[in-house]
Amino acid sequence: MANYRSPGVYVEEISLLPPSIAEVESAVPAFIGYTQQATKLIADDLHNVATPISSLSDFITYFGGPDTESVSNITVNVNELKTGSVTTGFNVTVTPTVANLSKHILYHAMVNFFANGGGSCYVVSVGKYSSGIVQADLETGIDLIANEDAPTMLVVPEAIYLSSNAAFDSINQRMINQAATLMDRFAIIDTYASTAPKMPGTIPSDVATAINNIPTDENIRRFGAVYYPYLETVYNYNFDFDSIILTSHTVNGGTPASGDQTGNALSVVKTSASAMYNAIAAEYAKYHIILPPSAAMAGVYTRVDDTRGVWKAPANVSVMDVVKPVISIARAEQDLLNINTDTGKSVNAILNMPGYGTVVMGARTLDGNNNEWKYINVRRFFSVVEESIKKSTNWVVFEPNTSQTWVKVQAMIENYLFLKWRDGALAGAKPEQAYFVNVGLGTTMNSVDILEGRMIVQIGMAVARPAEFIILQFEQIMQTS
């Protein structure tokens, strides 16, 4: 109370309401990879700098566009179909030299992220397109993002092009170790390749290799999830289309064409044989970039968080800008991916479902056999709540460790959890069945804790879990009337 020294009327405002908890953002991925540029004010001033952006236009402004492909890495063959002197159509084959195409896919991954609902994120450019994909560069980027507090997801799509499986595994382990250490982020992991199982009902070798090398410690692997297979997107490689050289132009299966366009750039074909040019363009548009699913899943996480909440499992939702998964997964194979009794490490399948398109049909962490932490939404919801309460209780440091402070802290946390329960994040018919908050001498602390300055708050939550297996039980009953 103030020390009043002279007569008069004084006003005091008394605060009766507890402080509130401001919830942290749940979906802020960090992308690490190579870009065309890394410029904001001067050349390369964003190289190896964790840079926040909020849109694809921001990415293009700071980091540029896609890598340009050499026209020497694509062949175009046209067989002109004629009846007499009348052209009836064109058989066109477009064949890129896949091994020589650019491995720098971060730009396309960012496009896919924003197409799937992505928003605010961080980008760490570890080099330009003139560089190869180098393990040390990506590791540097991952270590840099550890210094940022805002990111909640880690994505390194270009890691699939590292020179060895060991290097790829090292990147995955670095991501998931960082997530487990900081406990405020989640690693979205790809497989090193997407190949079909050699035998029906088995796990593909590249998937088995990826999950086998993830740390066996369940306290670590619960902070990451693996998705399979790769996705055929609707995007095309960045060839200068009109500069592509027509490799061959024949008629009816091999006769050199009259007005042969062989050796001409497509810009020339466009002016002299527009119908052929249009046929080539239509066939060229069918060749799509294949991307690992991590960036798309970061967008799906963001979309689900924004529309439903972080407590909703990011599954049974469509993936945008995707033609189809590159591998069709059978039910017997998905059974082994989803619940692996040998390793306990789950892999989330992405399926092509008739009538629904490309759909994510897995919601498990790598700790897929652990009843506490098997579901992605449970792990991510706990991370959000822990980080939100941690930051909002900073004011308590050096406050008196007495019942007045304990009541404020308990009320603040209970109010926050009540709102989560009301929104559907916590299971229970009544608030007391959904959560508890305990703090006090004789409850969570003893006299030694008080003397040593420790305030211990115990918080329990019954997070809503997904209905992963819908079981409809039917039986016949006898006629009774």
- CB of 348 within 8 A of CB of 333? no
pTM greater than 0.85: yes
Give the pLDDT score at 52: 97
Phi-psi label, residue 309: left if phi above 0, alpha if psi -120 to 50, beta otherwise: left
Model pLDDT, residue 53:
97
Q: What confidence score (pLDDT) does residue 480 get?
A: 85
Query: What is the dihedral angle through the alpha carbons of 424, 429, 434, 438, rounded to the nearest 10 degrees?
Result: 140
**Average pLDDT of adjacent 10-residue blocks, the chain of 481 residues:** 84 81 95 95 89 96 95 94 88 92 96 97 95 94 96 97 92 95 96 85 83 81 95 95 94 79 93 92 93 98 96 96 94 90 90 92 93 95 96 94 94 95 95 96 95 96 88 85 81
Tell me how far apart the alpha carbons of residues 303 and 281 are, in angstroms, rounded to a whole number: 34
Report how far residue 336's alpha carbon sits from residue 331's, in angstroms, rounded to the nearest whole number: 9
**Sign, CA torsion 447/449/454/456:** negative
pLDDT value of residue 74: 95
Longest dimension (CA), the chain: 115
Residue with tokens 């098997």: 374
Peptide bond between residue 229 and the one before it cis (omega within 30 degrees of 0): yes
Q: What is the pLDDT of residue 204?
A: 87
Output the pLDDT for position 257: 67
Residues in the chain: 481
How many Å apart are CA 387 and CA 98, to the nearest integer?
Answer: 44
pLDDT digits (tens, 9 = 90+) for 332-375: 899 999 998 888 899 999 999 988 999 999 999 999 989 999 99
Per the listing, tokens 């487990």 go with 180
Coil vs helix vs strand at 413: helix
Q: 74, 238 in Cβ contact below 8 A? A: no
Tokens of 22: 């401001």
Question: Cα angle vertex 421, ends 418, 427, to 5°?
Answer: 140
In tens, the pLDDT along 244-272 reads 999 999 998 877 767 888 999 999 999 98
- The CA distance from 74 to 124, in Å, is 31
Exposure string of 264-292, with b = 16+ CB inside 10 Å and e = fewer, is bbbeebbeebeebbebbeebbeeebbbbb
Q: Look at residue 1 in the predicted model and tell me its pLDDT.
A: 62
Element (H, E) at 298: helix 294-307
pLDDT in tens, 27-56: 999 999 999 999 988 877 899 999 999 999
Mean pLDDT of the chain: 92
Phi, psi of 97 (to 5 degrees): -85, 95
What is residue 9's three-state secondary structure?
Answer: coil
Give strand ranges (E) for 362-462.
Answer: 435-439, 457-461
Q: Is 186 helix (H, G, I), strand (E, B) or coil?
A: strand
Can you tell me the distance from the alpha carbon of 478 to that of 156, in angstroms, rounded to the nearest whole number?
A: 60
- The tokens describing 433, both together, are 């069945």
* DSSP alpha helix (H) spans, 183-254: 205-212, 218-221
144 within 8 A of 38, measured Cβ to Cβ: no
